[in-house]
Amino acid sequence: MDANNLEALRHSASHVMAQAVQQLFPEMMLGIGPAIEHGFYYDFDGPHHFVPEDLPRIEAKMREIAKARHPFRKSEHPRAEAIEYFESRGEKYKVELINDLPDAVVSYFTHSDFTDLCKGPHVGHTGKIGHFKLTRLAGAYWRGDEGRPMLQRIYGVAFDTKEALEAHLAMLEEAKKRDHRKLGRELGIYFFDDDVGPGLPLWLPRGAVIIEELESLAKKTEAEAGYVRVRTPHICKESLYLTSGHLPYYKDSMYPPMELEGEKYYLKPMNCPHHHKIFGSSLRSYRDLPLRLAEYGTCYRYEQSGELFGLMRVRSMQMNDAHIYWTLDQFQTEFLAVCRMYLGYFKIFGIEKYLMRFSTHAAEGLGKKYVDEPELWTKTEDLVERALVAGEVPYAKAPNEAAFYGPKIDVQVWSAIGREFSLATNQVDFAQPRRFGLVYHTAEHGEETPLCIHRAPLGTHERFIGFLIEHFAGALPLWLSPVQVRVLTITDGQNAPAKGLSARLAAAGLRAEVDDASHKIGYKIRDAQVDKVPYMVVLGPKDVESKTLAVRLRDGRQFNGVTEADFLAKVLAEKESKSLKPAW
């Protein structure tokens, strides 16, 4: 079934769920119920507090409605009549939606005795809502506004075949095991604290190791690609964001300003205005371009409380940021070089499925959502698309999702179990360089404004590490693992040799530690496996006597009689190559 038909199926399932809820709990009022990726949801308000035990009851009622094969019928009504109809049914949220609609005529969809405000599309009758399952409950502010009532949301998934539904449910079960919020706590990577604030992660030592490894990789990759590194402050004056144009578009996502010495200062929500200032701090020639400024800058964005989600949506983030300033004739070369950097990272992290979402503007948004430069929009979007085609980079267009200053590429990747993540961005900017008065001297002794690209191949540490935890189920490849080798002693008699071995491994460049606690060896092995340690070295009396090692991998395989030199050589080679597979 194609995407449009699946959307109609899922939208229809949301209506059937709403009818089932109101048949079981007549006092519940309706919010909204759209189709979403893989399924649907509906928001409700009223005295009944949903609990997980309600879901099977609602599902059973949905199947009863589906079995009756009630047709979906569309009708259209004047606005005043629609308001009167939904007011008579006590549906205040529907009345509010109707009042906000621009059209004088309002459409309904009716099946059986249930009618909902809706434009469609729907399947022919309720019997075609496919194979579905209600999955979870959540809270959601009405229309996403924290100042409005909190409604109760019921989520479901729906597919056209039983096999597709079962495969998706199996993926959801596996995703629960891989949930970065659960594993992040268990592996001692990060946590949140109420005294620090929501969305502000605290990185534990093991998490800091992962960050440093990723930053080291990015710095090496960028140095080889001709980037230079800069550093910028965490706060700045309001005037900078007025010049950049960010305040009118992003003020709601910024922390409130601080008043100091008659000036307003904001916590930095993005690095680009600071980098523009660095570009403009010196006279630039065409010979200086392309100029690639990179920074791991910490940014702060006031995401809505209901949108915060582990490391995937936070308020403090370290961004693998860079801005490249170039001439028009350098566009394709530089743009594709950034794309190839993404592809190189995908190979390192074993990301096999990916897609570049090419986000373009919509003409009706000019001057409101987008910079009012129609000719530049058309020209720049054409440049991006021609570069993608020339580089044979897979992409899909996403209309009306561009940045306010230019088209962008949002990089979608799929994890090892098929979950989709939006990880990174690649944004073309034709507006801000002009707003900042940035120029370079041409070969003809004139002045031109450079083009700029904002790029972040690894996104933020927060989101990328959240993705990696789920992608690898916490079992990170050796080079990224916070602890790479744990030496386990069988009796206290091996404590001294174990510490000596650990010290030699550390001196060779491995992150090694000793477990010499007075526990049985089986407990120590289980503990290391729970911690996802790639290599365990078990030291008993015979190993010390023979001067060999018993090497155990986290997948349970064990190799006895390994020499220290052989172990070091294999593990160091695995680390240096950033291999996704163990040396054994």
Per-residue pLDDT, averaged over 78-106, amounts to: 92
Q: What is the mean pLDDT of residues 414-431?
A: 84
What's the Cα-to-Cα distance from 104 to each of 95, 222, 341, rounded to whole Å?
Answer: 14, 56, 51
Q: Give the pLDDT band (50/70/90) at residue 393.
A: confident
SS3 track for 112-170: CCEEEECCCCCCCEHHHCCEEEEEEEEEEEHHHCCCCCEEEEEEEEEECCHHHHHHHHH
Where residue 280 falls among pLDDT bands split at 50, 70, 90? very high
φ, ψ for residue 265, nearest 5 deg: -120, 140
CB 122 within 8 A of CB 11: yes
pLDDT at 368 over 80: no
pLDDT for 436-456, tens place per residue? 999 999 999 999 999 899 999
Closest to 198 (Cα-Cα) out of 270, 298, 306: 306
User: Model pTM?
Assistant: 0.84
Q: Is 437 exposed, middle or buried (0-12, 13-18, 19+ CB in 10 A)?
A: exposed
Confidence of residue 235 (pLDDT cuts 50, 70, 90): very high
pLDDT of residue 349: 95
Distance, CA of 575 to CA of 579 (rounded, Å): 7
DSSP, collapsed to helix, strand or coil, labels residue 35 as strand
Tens-digit pLDDT profile for residues 189-215: 999 999 999 999 999 999 999 999 999
Tokens of 19: 């009818």
pLDDT at 369 exceeding the cut of 80? no
Give the closest residue to 31 by CA, choosing from 110, 108, 140, 105: 140
pLDDT at 1: 60
Exposed / middle / buried, residue 256 (Cβ in 10 Å: 0-12, 13-18, 19+): exposed
Q: How far apart are CA 65 and CA 114, in angstroms?
A: 11
**Contact of 91 with 44, CB cutoff 8 Å:** no
CB 476 within 8 Å of CB 210: yes
471, two tokens: 């992608």
Taking the C-alpha atoms of residue 75 and residue 118, their distance in angstroms, rounded to an integer, is 10
Residue 450 preceded by cis peptide, ω within 30: no
Query: Residue 243's pLDDT is what?
Result: 92
Q: What is the DSSP letter of 460?
A: B
Rounded Cα distance, 516 and 521, in Å = 10
Token pair in block for residue 308: 């915060």
Please compute the mean of the pLDDT values over residues 358-364 and round it to a whole number: 84
Residue 120: predicted pLDDT: 87
Phi, psi of 263 (to 5 degrees): -120, 150
Query: What percent of the chain lies above the pLDDT cut of 70?
Result: 99
> Is a pLDDT exceeding 70 seen at residue 2?
no
What is the structure's pLDDT at 63?
Answer: 97
Give me the chain's average pLDDT, please.
92
Higher pLDDT among residues 141 and 285, named by residue: 285
> Residue 327 contacts by C-beta under 8 Å, 6 or more apart in sequence?
286, 289, 290, 440, 448, 450, 451
pLDDT, position 542 = 93
Tokens of 176: 């629960």
Give the DSSP letter string of 311-335: TTB-SEEEEEEEEEEE-GGGHHHHH
- Band of residue 362 on the pLDDT scale cut at 50, 70, 90: confident
Looking at residue 115, what is its pLDDT?
95
Per-residue pLDDT at 203: 97
Rounded distance between C-alpha atoms, residue 357 and residue 426, angstroms:
10
Residue labelled with tokens 């407990």: 523
Above 70 in pLDDT, residue 236?
Answer: yes
Least confident stretch, 177-181, 394-398, 469-473, 543-547: 394-398
Q: 104: how many CB neighbours lie within 10 A of its CB? A: 8
Q: Which domains does the chain have, with CATH numbers?
A: 3-160 (3.30.980.10), 186-346+423-471 (3.30.930.10), 478-577 (3.40.50.800)
Q: Is the pLDDT of residue 404 over 80?
A: no
pLDDT band for 395, please (50, 70, 90 cuts): confident
* In the predicted structure, residue 405 carries a pLDDT above the cut 80: no
Q: Work out the angle between the directed axes of helices 564-577 and 495-507 (0-180°, nearest 10).
A: 40
Look at residue 492 and give its three-state secondary structure. Answer: helix
- Amino acid 392 reads E
Question: What separation in angstroms does the CA of 285 have from each of 282, 325, 445?
Answer: 10, 11, 9
| Average pLDDT of the segment spanning 478-502 | 96
Confidence of residue 307 (pLDDT cuts 50, 70, 90): confident
For the segment 111-125, the average pLDDT, to the nearest whole number, is: 93
